[in-house]
Amino acid sequence: MKLRPISSVVSLWSLFINAVLTRRSCRVSAAFSGWRERLGAIMKQRKIETHKIGLIGQGPSRRGDPRKPLAGPNGRKIARLAGMSYDELISCRRRHLNTNYSGKGGRGDGFDHAKGNVNAADVLLDWRVERIVLLGKNVARCFGFRDLPFLAEIRIYGRRFLIFPHPSGVNRWWNERRNEQRARQLLQRFLRGETAPAGFRISGRSTRTRAPKSWTGTSEHRPRGTRR
């Protein structure tokens, strides 16, 4: 048998190695391309359209500026829970139903429901947003949503509303870690426009009645005495 020169063997071996490396490179490139597309889809899914979102608070804090709703610690907490930057939160529509500080020690004792009802009506007439976060039970009542648990989502008036616990540290609802985890999850889904779990949705006239016994919201985790 005639033996091939060493140079020919080396050349054949080099071609083989190059072919293997090229094939693996193509596979890696294809995998990276697919991963990049999936990442792009995830990022697109998580994008929050701030121009479609409104946030309604009770009133300014003791040191808050009535002209800048949620421009303090409460706003920063909402932004953190929402998974958005503070600048993104400020770009949303924002309003207080009471324009003056309304509570001793931050409890909201002096909340003016009559004034709140008027301002809530103005929001429904003037705002052109799809999703509105109502911060606290006092705010929710001004929109006609009574006896519903925190994190309930309502579809009515051609909009979606989320009853969200007031972000103040005085609100003992936040003492439960599982409450905060659930609040973060549902708030982010709501702001992205995703559909809430069936147990957290309610619509139509039933918003003015007591919540059904089969309700699966998080009211069972609310510490006693929490009404915000």
Whether 3 has a pLDDT exceeding 80, the answer reads: no
The answer to whether residues 54 and 14 touch, using CB atoms and an 8 Å cutoff, is no
> Residue 42: its pLDDT value, please?
46
Q: Which helix (H) or strand (E) is 35 found in, with range?
A: helix 6-46
Mean pLDDT throughout 71-100?
92
User: Is the dihedral angle over the CA atoms 111, 114, 117, 121 positive or is it negative?
Assistant: negative
Amino acid at 69: P
Q: At what angle do helices 177-191 and 73-82 cross, to 10 degrees?
A: 70
Q: The pTM is what?
A: 0.68
The answer to whether residues 140 and 134 touch, using CB atoms and an 8 Å cutoff, is yes
Whether 189 has a pLDDT exceeding 50, the answer reads: yes
The chain-wide mean pLDDT, for the chain, equals: 77
Q: How far is CA 177 from CA 50, 150, 184, in A?
A: 27, 15, 11
User: Is the dihedral angle over the CA atoms 152, 102, 144, 49 positive or is it negative?
Assistant: negative
Mean pLDDT throughout 5-9?
55
Token pair belonging to 17: 């190695």
Read off the pLDDT of residues 116-173 as tens digits, 9 standing for 90 and up.
999 999 999 999 999 999 999 999 999 999 989 999 999 998 899 999 999 988 889 9
